[in-house]
Amino acid sequence: MSVASLRRAARESVSGLPREFWWLWTSTLVNRLGAFVATFMTLYLTLERGYSASFVGLVVALHGLGGVVSSVVAGVLTDRLGRRPTLVAAQASTAFSVALLGFMQHPAAIAGVALLVGMTSNASRPAVQAMMADIVRPEDRVRAFALNYWAINLGFAVSSTAAGFVAEYSYLAGFLGEAALTLACAVLVYVKLPESRPVRTEAEKAAAEPATGLGTVLRDGRFMGVVGLSFLISLIFMQGSFGLPLAMSAAGFSTADFGLVIGVNGLLIVLLQIPVTRLIERRDPQKLLVVSALLAGYGFALTAFGGSVWSLALTVCVWTLAEIINSPTQMGLVARLSPLHGRGRYQGMYTLSWAVASLVAPLMAGFVIQHYGAAWLWTSMAALGMVAALGYWLLMRGLSEAGAAPAVAPAVAPAVAPAVAPAVVPAVAAPTELVPVPVAKTAAAAEA
């Protein structure tokens, strides 16, 4: 491919996006540049504090439990109070709790503050995802999610590698650095992003359209199927943050070694997310989700054969490709199945799947590695990948033909200032086939 073709492809991938999206994208990038706690919590507790794998699993599970508690609550607040206030409050609270965690000494205090960090950090996700769905046209969302995921991993690739070396000298510096950057995100959102929550039209009010409650979400069988499969795939991917550092630590690798290995994940996504999205955009989402589940499971299973930094990095390449395929495809599906006035609750329930996985994954990793060895953990990942692949295949059968999204109300203007309203009015189209839209032909936006 010529340089001119590469430039044209890059221009087509980012063109046509609303200004609000880019501020959201920027906040994502800044936030991920400061990522430290989720990545290095395991190594901090084992190498710096000397706690056992079981205690580490308990603490990290409490972090996940905090996310479980906050996911649904934050989804409700996103619909009731708005995306912007929920997001600002969540990020400001995260900054405070992360800084506090760095100073905790007693095991009980560490566990309690880890729970608080999990609650605050996870509370922003439903608001971000709902805001993205508000400001981006439906046909642009697959590309939007891909670009957002690209920003997440650009920041992650830089922060994980740099933080690995920072941790060699001071874990506290890592905690305080994440707190400062998260606070900067809260300020950016407050200053630059208008509220995007759609308001009900007079016609909708006159028709007495019933509100979307949590019961509505739970009764949506297809969507809850997506949530369940998201839990399984999340359980696999999260072993990169929980099982992998425990296994590498037990095998004698350093924090810098882990930083380099896990940094491959972010680096590959930075390099490949956009071109791979362009390659798969016309493919059947059912096949994409099935293939991604198999690649994830067997990619982690290969970790059992990794005896060096470079061989472990090669296994990361396999499951990273699964992430690249799965993330925009699945998030596009979730956005499509979420009704206009219930996006916060739907996104909260989807976020819950990741939060529950954050609760289960460290407990699973700590218990299995301590009592049976890492090889059993990696073998179980292959089994979970096969189960998830089968689930995606069954769930997606006939979905394109059915176009089965919950009833979506007509497009309404988000409650934003007049100066930016034209850029953020979501053009909700009629249901179409669930096939990712060609990147070259559409504009997109990403979540922060």
Comparing C-alpha atoms, which of 272, 193, 260 is closest to residue 28?
Answer: 193
DSSP string spanning 332-353? HHHHHHS-GGGHHHHHHHHHHH
The conformational region for residue 19 under phi > 0 = left, psi -120 to 50 = alpha, else beta, is: alpha
Q: Which residues of 305-343 are buried (b: 16+ CB within 10 A; e: fewer)?
A: ebeebeebbbbbebbbbbbbbbbbbbbbbbbbbbbbbbb
Around Cβ 419, how many Cβ atoms within 10 Å? 8
CB 348 within 8 Å of CB 80: no
pLDDT of residue 13: 64
State the pTM of this model: 0.68
pLDDT of residue 432: 33
DSSP string spanning 280-333? HTTS-HHHHHHHHHHHHHHHHHGGGG--SHHHHHHHHHHHHHHHHHHHHHHHHH
pLDDT of residue 301: 95
What is the C-alpha to C-alpha distance for residues 445 and 6, in angstroms, rounded to an integer?
A: 21
Residues belonging to the chain: 448
Instruction: Tell me the backbone φ, ψ of residue 408, rounded to 5 degrees.
Output: -110, 125
Could you report how far apart the first and last alpha carbons of the chain are, in Å?
31
Report CA 153 to chain centroid distance, whole Å. 10
CB 436 within 8 Å of CB 280: yes
The conformational region for residue 95 under phi > 0 = left, psi -120 to 50 = alpha, else beta, is: alpha
Angle between helices 243-250 and 53-80 (to 10 degrees): 160
The conformational region for residue 269 under phi > 0 = left, psi -120 to 50 = alpha, else beta, is: alpha
Residue that the structure tokens 């009731």 belong to: 80
What is the C-alpha to C-alpha distance for residues 372 and 99, in angstroms, rounded to an integer?
A: 35
pLDDT of residue 390: 94
What is the full per-residue pLDDT of the chain (448 aa) written as tens digits? 555 665 666 666 666 678 888 888 888 888 777 777 767 777 788 877 888 877 887 887 788 788 888 888 888 888 888 889 999 999 999 999 999 988 888 888 998 999 999 888 888 888 888 888 888 887 777 777 788 888 887 877 777 677 777 777 788 888 888 888 899 989 998 998 888 887 765 555 555 455 667 777 888 888 899 999 999 999 999 999 889 988 888 888 887 888 889 878 878 887 888 888 878 776 788 889 999 999 999 999 999 998 899 999 999 999 999 999 998 888 878 878 877 777 778 888 888 888 888 778 888 888 898 888 899 999 999 999 999 999 999 888 766 544 444 333 333 333 333 333 333 333 333 333 333 333 333 333 333 3
Residue 5 neighbours by CB under 8 Å, 6+ apart: none
Angle (nearest 5°) at CA 132 between 297 and 175:
65
